[in-house]
Structure 1
């Protein structure tokens, strides 16, 4: 097939393009800007557009399909030309569903933890030498791409609740219609798509209703809103509730108990212990025994940007994490404090997304950084203007977070200077952002760690 990607530079889009080219498809693509690591990955596979921008002449009648990414707009000239020519247009979740009709579909959804849980499942299945396809939202050690499509009988999908494309406002995960589904929890997010908590919750209600009639729903029982939704669908299929897996601190980190045996793991935090339990239950449904699971999960090192250790020197450690929503921020900050209770914790986060920079959403962050010994929130006022949002002020942020000593910074130069001074005073530093703190190289901060005695 000849397939053209409009907005090929997205994380999932460029990985899907690479996977399809590896399968022998004829792939082309365009975008108006492409950042790393997408640019290098596309160049390596000879898929990087020779120039950036939109060009309607790239769209011709001999194309079999257009795959449309979210970054494009409804008035995109390539999209309009494809519509004029009557070329089939799909979002990437719709396309993945079309290629998985004959497979057992496993979908991991939730406002937080879905990438980590999906990554754990993929790691265990690979270690267990099971044939499977996948789509996940982060780079995982041992996997060359984030997407694989083959003739495997099972596909593991990270289920995102964001809309599918600029012309398809359907939530991505609603395309997949799983046989096995897991929901990690529900916490309002993406307010540009879901203006109310009710509309956000309704998307998960619809997701549950889309599970195969004989399917299985695995859900975190500690989430009241999620449990209520599950009770409302009590007569639909099989339900399995879960909480944290049995565990203990072993002096060098965390170990889990499975059966009569203990297994040291490389990740930590209550949220990850919940994720491990959810991943175990999915793997059980796929025929993986508890012994197989526990043996394999020991070597799991986490997904990229999920409590990823940037540097460690003596008692000092610097972690980075993708956390940006209130629930993710709280879980990640708490995880570091619980893992290192006797160490001083410096937590830094960037307000970067549409939701996080919206004044009416800020109160959702109440108490989310309270476990930090010192907390900093950074935002760029120019980003607020670019997103055409109402101006927000440092006092609003401090009031919303309800942390009296919270420091709010609006200059990345000032942030760099502050962190250079503070990192040597805190054994644990946690940097949380879905952006890049205004273009700062986070690895620069590793040089601020004091030398060991």
Structure 2
């Protein structure tokens, strides 16, 4: 089949293009802004994308896949609509080409999807099942977020964000869940969901797709997940939580141990929120291969982790620089707490860039003010691309800084731009010269490209 992809330069679209090409299709595509590393990868994979959108690009295609970022007015989209060509979203394409006649393992939830998806795939791969994979991230060992796989299973990140301009339903509704994990459910994506109930509706629809021979796994510590599962009867349902008598693991004082054998594990993941990720991934894998318990536990411990999720960029006996994807109040709170538990006695300097479509809005104005407990110093930057957010909807960062200081009773600073952070840290770090320090940088973006400067700053502590 001749397939054209509008918006091929995005990581997920580029990965899908590679998978389709390896499935035997004739794949090409276009994008307005093509940047490394994906532009280089596409050329390496023999896909040679076209730069810019032109209606003649799509002519002769059997199918056009339209990326989530593409909207009406795009010349290629208009040509597709005017000529009646076959088209679909990226999510629909994944479901159509890779999930038919499979047993998809869909990992959903407001937090922890990427880590849990990679972990589940890692475990199943470790025990010899060779599952497929599609996830928005890169493992710390460099393994990309996709694999064609062999056999029955395909592990996929169940994104609740909408599919395309012509399909405002969540992507995960295209993923045909056989096993469904729901790890958390909080309000997010304020740019497309009016309220929490709108997100719950999508999760209820997802839940309703699980076949009677499949299974649902959910965290009962979430009131919202308890609510949407309480009357569900179409497939077996298994809940889990810290301290449950049927838990596989317990997590106390930063230590994870398997309850049955009392074996202490040292996975790369820290924090009670990552306990949930480990617990549900292990439950799914034991459901599939109960005879492989020992190998599954070994795989949990050997999991390398995911880039930009608790990724240590610099480590010494007295200094630690960590990059994390946290951008939701719950995720920020859990990330700070996890490092407080794992590194007792360390001073934590939290850096936060409100960058996501939700975090740059004032919907979480009060929640952000309460989530920095445990941080010894907090620095918050101005909203990313501040002019793109209407002032009436925008997070008031200067007010937030004052409220964090009031709630934590700790030093809290405002940075107009991420580039100001290294300047501020040059004044802050000498105060902790005799202390052990963690710099915890939290953003779902590039954080202004300041990581090399942060690394140099924290390295300089070692020579004093």
TM-score range (shorter-chain normalised) is over 0.9
2:328 to 312, 325, 328: 325
Q: Any idea what SS the aligned residue of 1:345 has?
A: strand
Verify: 1:367 aligned to 2:388, yes or no. no
Number of residues of Structure 1 aligned to a counterpart in Structure 2: 445
Contact 1:107/1:178 (<8 A) preserved: yes
Summarize the Cα distance change of 1:195–1:266 in structure 2 as closer, same or farther, 3 Å threshold: same
**2: CA distance, partners of 1:418 / 1:36:** 31
1:288-303 → structure 2 map (5 Å cutoff): 288=290, 289-303=292-306
Aligned partner of 1:18 in structure 2 is 18
Verify: 1:344 aligned to 2:314, yes or no. no
- When normalised by structure 2's length, the TM-score is 0.90
**2: CA distance, partners of 1:440 / 1:427:** 21
**1: CA distance, partners of 2:313 / 2:7:** 30
Q: Any idea what SS the aligned residue of 2:449 has?
A: coil
Contact 2:181/2:218 (<8 A) preserved: yes
Q: Aligned-pair RMSD on alpha carbons?
A: 2.1
**1: CA distance, partners of 2:150 / 2:315:** 42
1:14-413 → structure 2 map (5 Å cutoff): 14-51=14-51, 53-60=52-59, 62-99=60-97, 100-141=99-140, 144-233=143-232, 235-244=233-242, 245-248=249-252, 254-257=255-258, 259-260=260-261, 261-288=263-290, 289-380=292-383, 383-388=385-390, 390=392, 391-398=394-401, 401=404, 402-403=407-408, 405-413=411-419
**2: CA distance, partners of 1:259 / 1:164:** 42
Contact 1:258/1:294 (<8 A) preserved: no
Contact 1:221/1:241 (<8 A) preserved: yes
**2: CA distance, partners of 1:430 / 1:247:** 22
Structure 1 spans left out of the alignment, 5+ residues = none
1:145 positional shift: 3.0
Contact 2:31/2:50 (<8 A) preserved: no
Contact 1:256/1:265 (<8 A) preserved: no
Contact 2:108/2:158 (<8 A) preserved: yes
Once the two structures are superposed, residues 94-114 of structure 1 have per-residue CA deviations (whole angstroms, 9 ceiling, x without a partner) of 111112120011101000011
**1: CA distance, partners of 2:217 / 2:258:** 20
**2: CA distance, partners of 1:400 / 1:23:** 54
Q: Any idea what SS the aligned residue of 1:451 has?
A: helix
**1: CA distance, partners of 2:321 / 2:280:** 27
Contact 2:363/2:395 (<8 A) preserved: no
Contact 1:376/1:409 (<8 A) preserved: yes
Contact 2:353/2:380 (<8 A) preserved: yes
Contact 2:9/2:35 (<8 A) preserved: yes
**1: CA distance, partners of 2:135 / 2:114:** 6
Aligned partner of 2:453 in structure 1 is 444
